[in-house]
Chain A
């Protein structure tokens, strides 16, 4: 065998070994070679199936995109980041099992929050017990940061909480001038929490407005029966000026679809103020009614800025879809964690927390948000507006005449926060869903 042939074989073997080494943990980026010290998992137990599958789908896609971008910039503290995602089928029990598995077996360094507040209510204490940073970007009941049994120093929220959303919804409903309002809400922590805040704000800003259905009928079982005949008929019987709802995902799609079958002008006769996300708009497409008064957490089309536009392009190129509000917020959650952990130079939860609380972070939403001390809540805003035609730009309606309400104007006042944390605003002390702001000393004086 010639020496040239031997050299070629050695070169090929070296190349193969190098390729294998790169595939097994080493990595390089286009700007130069980056060798990771290893891999760290960031966990997510999410609804890839079940009632909230629509949201989980977008969240998991966004998390993978964020992880890839973080890795392309060198990872966190020299480690490659892996998005460790498990499906919980929108079930609380599954979420609990998943978080235990993620923390105890996969040794995640941080968790992103689940979709529903009921799930976060069950999983946040496990994260607290194991000292794992828990970043909520979807579940958002204010009880998760105010209820004494649930307060978790490692819990951080980058999503407007139910107090902020209920306040935004109350202001939006008041602007319609409606006097007779019908409430439809899912019967679990989130629905009760947001409805409490909505009713409290409405009483402040539109004292002459009345809720015309009995409080015991405000809530529908969650997850609900897919047929909404009973609620649709109750609305027809009550003839409200406005329907307020915070039903979401499959429930909202089914409700709207069936209401339009009952009467194509249903939402003209009974205008609706409701929570929504890009996901519901995208799912129903042109069938999503125009003229709906929506409040949204992070609709990309109303938050026009270079960072958001770049993200939308990347997301659409990769997945062929438009990013939902959840995708935007979970991306923010991942980049916030990366920045804080890099600043801490550690994955230790206490050290990372100290780089989160009181610090400001860039957001796709076009502004910096700050995590305040006390409830670790970001001062993120809420977007409100009315659905209208996108003029062919998107295959679904968008918000026209939208307003981005500032987070600082929606945040729960510190005095009320402290009173909630001390159990001073509950009809039944120790019960997380019996908040009555009218009994809060600070609310009375505000």
Chain B
């Protein structure tokens, strides 16, 4: 493969990885801190995508994108805060199955509500950044490149939040030893609400960023949730670096896998083969820590 083609397919994989990372990072953060498998994460992604399309089109596709993105993230975060304070608080400490069923029920409720509010039809909006770049004879979407840069900035921002702020210290402490943190006087109740709200906001950010490049309907969260889970498991639940590496692996496996005649049929299956291998050899993921 010549360098031009290699760069083309590698960048395609990065674009896939970018939005998957943003979604998976939120999922991973929530599981890491709260030990909750949030089945409603894809629904928050979907709601944000819907809101962003509606607002962007109302304000004027293109210039309306940034207000729409902000609005979508806020809506997803607000719904997240409501879910945490009304439902999740009651199931912390219960078996994972109870939490799973509770969040699955929330996902169904959000899906139904979205259909009532927005209808089942696809909605589309224009990209805020038009145009493309040509490198070594091949065209690249400027918007896809912006998505990649946004994912890197979000990753760095999350790293800063977790490792350079008091909130981050507390979140990491909650991941390592929630009981000790509680004993040290930190308001763990508020911390948990904050973490879940940030996680929901990240799902929303992913949805809002991807909305201008795909048809949006009330089911778009389903497929992304499956891949986000795979990424979180591969990278290690609770690890932001793990989410980044997991997303990169999944994005590139899909991009290069689909174009290769030998691997085309198994490209998506490879993602789950990797996940199974990781679960077998290192159940806590590549960058995660085993539960005490």
B219 partner residues in chain A, CB cutoff 8 A: 49-51, 53, 89
A229 CB–B CB distance under 8 Å: yes
The complex places the Cα of A263 from the Cα of B130 at a distance, in Å, of 9
Cβ-defined contact, B124 with A219, below 8 A: no
- In chain A, positions 395-441 with a C-beta closer than 8 Å to chain B are none
Query: B245-275, CB under 8 A of A: which get 1 and which 0?
Result: 0000000001111111110110110000000
B32 CB–A CB distance under 8 Å: no
- In chain B, positions 1-23 with a C-beta closer than 8 Å to chain A are 5, 8-9, 11-13, 15-16, 19
Q: Helix, strand, loop or mixed for chain A's interface? A: helix
Known A216-B265, A226-B223, A230-B9: A261·B127 in contact at CB below 8 Å: yes
Q: Which of B93-101, B139-147, B282-290 contacts A (4 or more CB under 8 A)?
A: B139-147
Cβ-defined contact, B8 with A220, below 8 A: no
Cβ-defined contact, B122 with A226, below 8 A: no
A210 CB–B CB distance under 8 Å: no
B115 CB–A CB distance under 8 Å: yes
B260 partner residues in chain A, CB cutoff 8 A: 217
Cβ-defined contact, A284 with B124, below 8 A: yes
Cβ-defined contact, A257 with B223, below 8 A: no
B142 partner residues in chain A, CB cutoff 8 A: 261
B126 partner residues in chain A, CB cutoff 8 A: 287
Cβ-defined contact, A257 with B214, below 8 A: yes
Q: Helix, strand, loop or mixed for chain B's interface? A: helix
- In chain B, positions 91-122 with a C-beta closer than 8 Å to chain A are 115, 120-122
Cβ-defined contact, B144 with A229, below 8 A: yes
The complex places the Cα of A113 from the Cα of B159 at a distance, in Å, of 52
How many chain A residues touch B (CB < 8 A): the figure is 42
Known A229-B15, A230-B254: A57·B121 in contact at CB below 8 Å: yes
Cβ-defined contact, A236 with B8, below 8 A: yes
Cβ-defined contact, A233 with B264, below 8 A: no
A125 partner residues in chain B, CB cutoff 8 A: none
Write the chain A residue with the least CB distance to B131: A264
- Shortest distance between the CB of A434 and any CB in chain B (Å): 15
A–B complex contacts, Cβ < 8 Å, 28 sampled: A53-B120, A53-B217, A54-B121, A215-B261, A217-B264, A221-B267, A225-B223, A227-B19, A227-B213, A227-B254, A230-B12, A230-B13, A230-B258, A231-B258, A233-B8, A236-B8, A237-B8, A253-B124, A253-B214, A253-B215, A257-B215, A261-B132, A261-B141, A261-B143, A261-B144, A262-B132, A263-B139, A283-B124
Using CB atoms and an 8 Å cutoff, list the residues of chain B in contact with chain A: 5, 8-9, 11-13, 15-16, 19, 115, 120-122, 124, 126-127, 130-132, 138-144, 210, 212-215, 217-220, 223-224, 227, 254-262, 264-265, 267-268
Top 10 A-B pairs, shortest CB-CB distance:
A229-B12, A261-B141, A263-B139, A214-B261, A230-B258, A253-B215, A216-B261, A262-B141, A254-B214, A250-B215
